[in-house]
Structure formats: structure tokens, C-alpha cells
Amino acid sequence: MKNCIYLIPCTLNGNLNTDAISPEIIQSAMQCHAFITENIRSTRRYLRKIAYQRNFDEVSFFEFQKDFEQYQALKSFIQNNIKHTPIGILSEAGCPGIADPGAIAVAAAHQLEIEVKPLTGPSSIILTLMASGFNGQSFTFNGYLPIDKAQRAKKIQQLEYLIYKQNQTQIFIETPYRNNQLLQHLTEVCKSETKLCIASQLGFPEQSIAVKSITEWKRSLPDLHKKMTVFALYK
């Protein structure tokens, strides 16, 4: 059988609880003797957690960030290893390729005409949409909003326009230590009736998902500092 590249999902909670990891994911990971990952150390920890048996001295790893200068080295790694083994691509959390530099590795695989096999696993973005009650037929994931306050305000207004004119859910994230600033800014820029879903620490014991209008959030803002959080806006 021709070797392929597996997109191997991880847990959302720092690799602590693997209950959401299916036997298919585990079996696919076991076939791989080479991995492309954001962080080799955490990938090794995760593989051990799902009972990966191979000695890591016999396993090849390519640590990849969103750095296009690495692209040729990445392609060479794929070409050299795909002859001998399937290759696994892993994110730090959730599904690789979704808000994740693994997407570049997947693009390289397609360019090299290598079969790509995505595996079903947890995604904080999809879980937030599912739990929000917002429009699940028309939605956009916007990644990170601009850091500059004026540019961010303009972007928030653009997203809110799409909510009301196109009936479209708008989803986005922020670096955890800037969550509180973003939340404060949302309450300053958005219409009072606009609904905001805050999904925090998904997959952790302290998981919290709540939907309120901007007016309601203003009465009591949660502390989201350094908490993994997904935001969604809707009408």
C-alpha cells in the first residue's frame, strides 16, 4: 500500500485526557515512524499517552513553525521519509491544519502528490459553534483580529456588519494573555444587542461556555487572562 500522510488530532487540554481520541487515531499514529509537529517534546508526551510503542531514537521528527524559509526543508523531510513510513502531522492541540502551521505541511504534501488522510478529532472552533446556538450553516473563522486598537475596531465592525447583513456567525481567537483586552474592546465597539459566545478552556475540567448580549456581558466581564478561549459573534 502506498504511504500517506495522516492528520492526527490531539486533545484540547494539554494532552491530559485522551478519552476523546478514537482507536482510529491511535492505530494510525502507531503506523508512523516520522512526524511533523509544532513541538517535539509535547508530541512525544502525547504519543506516550496514547501508548505509542516505538523507541523515539528510531523516530524522525520535523519541528515546524509558520516559517516559509523552512518550506524546502519540510518538503525534503516528507520526500525522504514517505518512502519508508506513513508520516503523521500533529498540532499542539486539536486538529492539525486548523488555525495551525500544519496547513503548510499539508499543502506541501499535496504539491508532492502524496495522499492526505484527515482523522476525526476535537476542534475548539467547531465545539464553540456547536455550543453557541448560532448559525451553523453560514459561519467564518477569522483567526486572530488585529492587535492595533483602531484596526481591531474596524475589523469588529466589519464582522458585525456580516452578522446582520448576511446572517453569518463570526468566530475568532486571541492570544490568551490578551483575551481580557479583546473582550473589553468588543463591549465598547459592538451593538448592545449583539450576542457574544465565550467558550473558555474547552476540554479542561473548568470548561465554560456562555452566550449573552453585549449589554449583559458588560454587567459582569469574566477574567479570561491566560485561558484558551474562542469567541463567536451573532445577532
**Which CATH number belongs to the domain containing residue 200 in this structure?**
3.30.950.10
Q: Looking at 7-21, 122-136, 190-204, which range is the least confident one?
A: 7-21
Report whether pLDDT(161) > 90: yes
* Angle (CA) 216 222 223, round 5°: 160
SS (H, E, C) 38-64: CCHHHHHHHHHHCCCCCCHHHCEEEEC
Report whether pLDDT(208) > 60: yes
Helix crossing, 179-189 with 149-166: angle to 10°?
60
Beta-strand ranges (E) seen in the chain are 5-8, 34-37, 60-63, 87-90, 116-118, 139-144, 169-173, 195-200, 208-213, 229-234
Examine the domain organization and report whether 186 and 200 are in the same domain: yes
pLDDT over 90 for what percent of the chain? 83
Identify the domain boundary among 118, 147, 163: 118
pLDDT, averaged across the chain? 93
C-alpha cell at 118: 484527515
Tell me the mean pLDDT in the region 84-95.
93
Identify the domain boundary among 118, 138, 168: 118
The pLDDT tens digits for 45-64 are 999 999 999 999 999 999 98
Examine the domain organization and report whether 9 and 79 are in the same domain: yes
| CA gyration radius, the chain | 20
Number of domains in the chain: 2
Contact between 127 and 199 (Cβ < 8 Å): yes
